[in-house]
Chain A
Amino acid sequence: MRHAHTKTVHVQDEIRECNDIVLLVGTPNSGKSTLFNQATGGKSRIANWPGVTADLHYTRLGETCIIDTPGVYTIDGGSIEEEILVNALISLKPGKIVFVMDGLQPEASIYLLTQLLEAYEGPVEVLVTKSLLSHGAGIHIDVDGLSSRLGIRISRVSLLEGVGMEKVREAVSSNRAQRSRLRIGYGPLEPYIHILEQVIDEDKISPVSKRWLAVQLLAGDQVARSVASSIGDDIVREADRIKSALASQGVDLEGITASARLDAAEALARRFVVRRAPGELGARIDRIMLHPVLGPLASVAILFAAFFAVFSISLGFPLDMVLYSLGMSYAATLIEEYSLAGIVGMVFDWLISMIPDQGLAWGLVSGVLSGVGVVASFIPLIAVATAFLALLEDSGVMTRIAVSLHPFLQRLDVSGRSIYPYLLGLGCNVPAIMTSRLLPAGERMKVIFSIPFVICSARLIVLLAFVSAFFRGPLMQAVVAVSIYTLSALVALLTAKAAHRIYGGQDPGRPYLIMDLPLMHKPSIRVVWWSVRSSLAHFIRRMAGPITLAAVIIWLLLQAPGGGSSMGHTIGSILGAIFKPLGVGEEQSQILGLAGIAGSLVKEVIVETIGVAYGSPDPREAVTMLGLTPAQAYSILVFFMFYTPCIATAVAVYSESGKPRILASLIAYSLVVAVTLMYLTYMILEVGSRWL
């Protein structure tokens, strides 16, 4: 309640100078946000998840202020979004409402519209979105018939196809909108509604209708109750008196009002909406995706195909691994070199090689260039990952995946929708954290906090180097690799659970499934492009600067002034002290510490740093030169998997959570987890090997 109220007051301050206020109202996914963005020239994401607009977004168009309200299905005040809408109606006193009707779900929109027309007495204009899509889906709306029955203007727009933009601007600015003449009858309740109407002062609640307020009070709506008590206690008292009188006669007030409204909306929908059977292809896909056994299998297959495609296109991984294991190492190298990140890397290597090798200027320029190179290498990855997510989302496939995997993931306290971010995390944590944006706030924090413990492809390079250097035989190597991935899954799940305790708020513990299934349709390339553009803009505006800065700082730390020992070396030997209890020698500890510092820049540099320290061009050979026992190697590997998020991941966590406190606690927590697990695994392995 208080939450909703502060929002409304805030908007009120912002729009004080507006002559006219227009509210945009519609169901979730109705295309309302798209319409808002197009009418105002703003750029914002659209997604297939309900409730993308959680706040009131507003903009000015001349002297008119347009306010985009959160998508809702009813206005009973049962959710935060509904409260925001009702409060906006009462306290902002909009001069007009532009109602956005979802062309793909006209029935739900009609239900909301009838409630809105009951509640709001000002002029209303209706825009029907997704016209072409709905036509393709076999949905036909008799716009003229509905318009004359309700007595308001209704017109079609199709934003994706760019049809009817002038209608949008016209709807916002014209004076032609009309007041509706819809009236829903409540049969036996009518005399009591009339009594309550007598005690409500019309002027105090205008443009909200007093008849609607009376009905809501009888139906037990808490928001209506607080509105009524703010204009006079006698209204609430009278309502309570009538309610208790009727309750003693066994009258089900909530039931009567709900079914009167549902009947009225259903009657309109039956008369003015015709549905033919959905498209054959969509229905066929649904038969598989919603099948209890085939659905989960198909979902896993689609997700892995998407994962494979995203990372092979942008990094060359894991296609290169497959080619290597088939003995086609030449092809694998080609794939790595000509992946999008490979090409970006080549450009930056070439740029650095062009700088004359001398003095401080060289140091600074190449430091900055390598920082910018780190940032640039993420751009193709983020673009491709977002594009695939947008394709899956816009077509409606992602919702089916979330629904079919939900029952299994629910057991792990993870909802079906968070599977895409977690899976992306296996490739790279940065896009994984960025795509968590489509999750509800409560779940998002636990995903953001736990994704850094998912082993990404950069850490896989470290893992493979250590495994092949210190463990003999393919079976032993596989056991080690699988056990480390299992450990990472355990740590991530436990971390998610802990993060939920701390940051979850009022979100119910176990995720439950109540999810709209949008109709399957052909994904629109424009929607995909909007998504990619928006996440790249976010990355470049909010994240590129800090990543470059951090990269330059670490790079400078590692540069030795005048051949002596660098600052990085000093810090490295301090960090190296934690390896000594494992019985690792002085020199090795220092090298491992230095590798750890360098690895906070990008994780694969851990192996490279060890290579440089031993002056060996082959990193795997260099790792072997550390001369670790299997127990030492395993526990140090555990440390390197978890000890800190790399700087790009850290910046992503900071920019998505918006709180430095979260990032600081994540880094501290990672370090504690990594050190504890390193000592624990070492002790277990040492004791175990003595017993064997």
Chain B
Amino acid sequence: MVSLSRAPEGARVRVRSVPEGSVGSMLRSRGIMPGSVLFVVRSSSVAWSPVIVEVMGARIAIGRDVADNIEVEVVD
């Protein structure tokens, strides 16, 4: 299990947990919740760059600080 910000670009990952509170409900409302599968479209090691994922055909940019708190496991 790793945080979404450490998942490699091009990986398919399954979400294990998302943070609580308003950030969590914002993520859930975009279809990012425990169980959903994300495709990591873009991710870099540059400290400030956001992570871009694809979920259900939508591309979503997620700030680094938010992605740090999303736990995922790499599916393939």
| Closest-CB distance, A397 to chain B (whole angstroms) | 14
CB <8 Å contact, A105 and B60: no
A76 to B34, CA, bound (A): 14
Q: Which residues on B sit within 8 Å (CB–CB) of A74?
A: 28-29, 31
Proximity bits, A60-91, B CB within 8 Å = 1, else 0: 00000000000011101011011000000000
Q: A111-B31, A407-B64, A408-B48 are in contact. Are A512 and B59 (CB under 8 A)?
A: no
CB <8 Å contact, B58 and A108: yes
Q: A262-B35, A403-B61, A513-B62 are in contact. Are A292 and B26 (CB under 8 A)?
A: no
| Closest-CB distance, B68 to chain A (whole angstroms) | 11
CB <8 Å contact, A292 and B34: no
Q: Which residues on B sit within 8 Å (CB–CB) of A446?
A: none
Q: A78-B28, A258-B34, A513-B50 are in contact. Are A410 and B63 (CB under 8 A)?
A: yes
Report if B23 contacts A (CB, 8 A).
yes
Q: Closest chain B residue to A508 by CB distance? A: B22
CB <8 Å contact, A508 and B60: no
CB <8 Å contact, A72 and B63: no
| Closest-CB distance, B4 to chain A (whole angstroms) | 12
Q: Closest chain A residue to B65 by CB distance? A: A512
CB <8 Å contact, A108 and B57: yes
A515 to B62, CA, bound (A): 7
How extensive is the interface on chain A, given as a class? 35 or more
Q: Which residues on B sit within 8 Å (CB–CB) of A403?
A: 50, 61
Q: Which residues on B sit within 8 Å (CB–CB) of A692?
A: none
CB <8 Å contact, A292 and B48: yes
Cβ < 8 Å to B, chain A residues 230-287: 254-255, 258-259, 262, 265-266, 269, 273, 275
Q: 9 closest Cβ contacts across the A-B interface?
A: A107-B57, A513-B63, A292-B49, A407-B48, A292-B46, A259-B35, A107-B56, A517-B59, A403-B61
Chain A residues close to B by CB (< 8 Å)? 72-74, 76, 78-79, 81-82, 105-108, 110-111, 254-255, 258-259, 262, 265-266, 269, 273, 275, 290, 292-293, 399, 403, 406-408, 410, 506, 508, 512-517, 519
26 sampled A-B residue pairs with Cβ under 8 A: A72-B29, A73-B31, A74-B31, A78-B25, A78-B28, A79-B26, A82-B29, A105-B57, A107-B56, A107-B57, A108-B56, A110-B56, A262-B37, A273-B57, A275-B57, A290-B42, A293-B46, A403-B50, A407-B49, A408-B48, A508-B23, A512-B63, A512-B65, A513-B61, A514-B61, A516-B58
